[in-house]
Amino acid sequence: MNKKLIATAMGMVLAGGMGMANADVKLYGQIDVSIDAIDVDGGGDDINMGSNTSAIGVKGSEDLGNGMQAIFKLEWQTDVSESSSFTGRDQWIGLKGDSWGQLLFGTMSTSYKSAAAALDPFYRTRNQARNVGLQSILHRGKGEEGQGRATNTVRYDSPSFGGINFNGTYTLDNDETDGEDDDPYSVGLTYAGGPVYAFASYITTDSGGDDDAWQIGAKGTFGGAALWAMYEADGGLITTRSGGAVDDGDGLDIWNIGASYTMGNNLISLDYGVGDESDSLTAADDYTTWRIGAKHSFSKRTMAYITHAQQDFEDAGEVDLTSIGMRHNF
């Protein structure tokens, strides 16, 4: 079925110059493969190859007149290191207007996830921030219960007002037979102006009880140097999504700081983060984490990188991961 979907998407692109004269359709993707060496206290050491969010997609728009466009995106992820199977990523259809923003329907990132990705120089690699504790579990996964990519969702993004944008998502409960009757939502504000990028966002499953989290973050770029910081306050959702439990809405808070420097086609960076649970009833484990990395851009589309991250848990010990990889965007 997935292969048929890919064939259909590619057929749409090939048909762009024939049957879609008023539409703009683009095939795009990313191939990212790394060699990863993991060292776990107590066993589990391994050296293996990984495919890091390698994906292919098709996106496009059609001019409807009067400043309005129909827009769509269909994207699938594949593991090029092992097989050719495909799983869905962002897949939506919507409308976009010059004066009022855009409205999307389908599967897409929450306001909580999308804002923080801009702080991570190694986003969509094995050692990306959300994999090593620099960002929480709410920035990954796909589903209806506070995952980073929300299914059965409506999303609105406002136009820019002096660099300020508002966005929000609302997820419909697709299966009420699971005993839950909740409709998760997220809201966010971003600012981008000159050297400064900043955001604040909130997410909840709206299930009652310990079901939400909020975050703030900012990044400043000054010549070749960049500095950033981020804080996530857990109202229970981070901990419960991580398999823990809270009873007063106070769980695993997370913060991180980082810096990078770009010299020509090369970038080096360093991050440090802390996960701190303040509720003694939670099953979450306190930790500290740091990451160092470098990448070289051969061109605008091709790069190589090396990263090392260490996450030190208070109870479970250390996990070290070194990743050497290459990426090509098309």
Per cent of the chain over pLDDT 90 is 75
Q: What is the DSSP letter of 65?
A: E
pLDDT (tens digit, 9 = 90+) per residue, 54-95?
999 999 999 999 999 999 999 999 998 887 688 999 999 999
Domains contained in the chain, number:
1
Q: What is the pLDDT of residue 283?
A: 58
| pLDDT confidence bin for 248, thresholds 50/70/90 | low
pLDDT (tens digit, 9 = 90+) per residue, 168-178?
999 997 766 55
Number of C-beta neighbours around residue 3 at 10 A = 10
pLDDT (tens digit, 9 = 90+) per residue, 192-230?
999 999 999 999 998 887 899 999 999 999 999 999 999
Q: What is the pLDDT of residue 16?
A: 46
What Cα–Cα distance (Å) separates residue 54 from each residue in 2, 195, 284, 327? Answer: 15, 30, 31, 9
pLDDT(162) > 70: yes
∠ Cα 309 111 218 (to 5°):
55
pLDDT (tens digit, 9 = 90+) per residue, 265-286?
999 999 999 999 765 555 567 8
Q: What is the pLDDT of residue 21?
A: 46
Structure tokens at 56: 């292919």
Q: What is the pLDDT of residue 19?
A: 45
Q: What is the pLDDT of residue 316?
A: 84
Phi, psi of 131 (to 5 degrees): -90, -20
pLDDT (tens digit, 9 = 90+) per residue, 7-47?
555 554 444 444 444 568 999 999 999 999 999 998 889 99
Q: What is the pLDDT of residue 179?
A: 54
Among 274, 284, 200, 217, residue whose Cα is nearest residue 250: 284
What Cα–Cα distance (Å) separates residue 80 from each residue in 86, 94, 109, 215, 274? Answer: 10, 30, 23, 34, 33
CA distance 208 to 204: 9
State the chain's mean pLDDT as an integer.
90
pLDDT(1) > 50: no
Per cent of the chain over pLDDT 70 is 87
Among 73, 66, 111, residue whose Cα is nearest residue 92: 73
* pLDDT (average), residues 137-159: 95
Structure tokens at 18: 């024939």
Q: Write the CATH number for 20.
A: 2.40.160.10
Among 313, 246, 245, residue whose Cα is nearest residue 285: 313
Domain encompassing residue 200: 2-329
* pLDDT (average), residues 138-146: 92
Q: What is the pLDDT of residue 43?
A: 84
pLDDT(98) > 70: yes
3-state secondary structure of 290: strand
Q: What is the pLDDT of residue 281?
A: 55
CA distance 196 to 180: 41
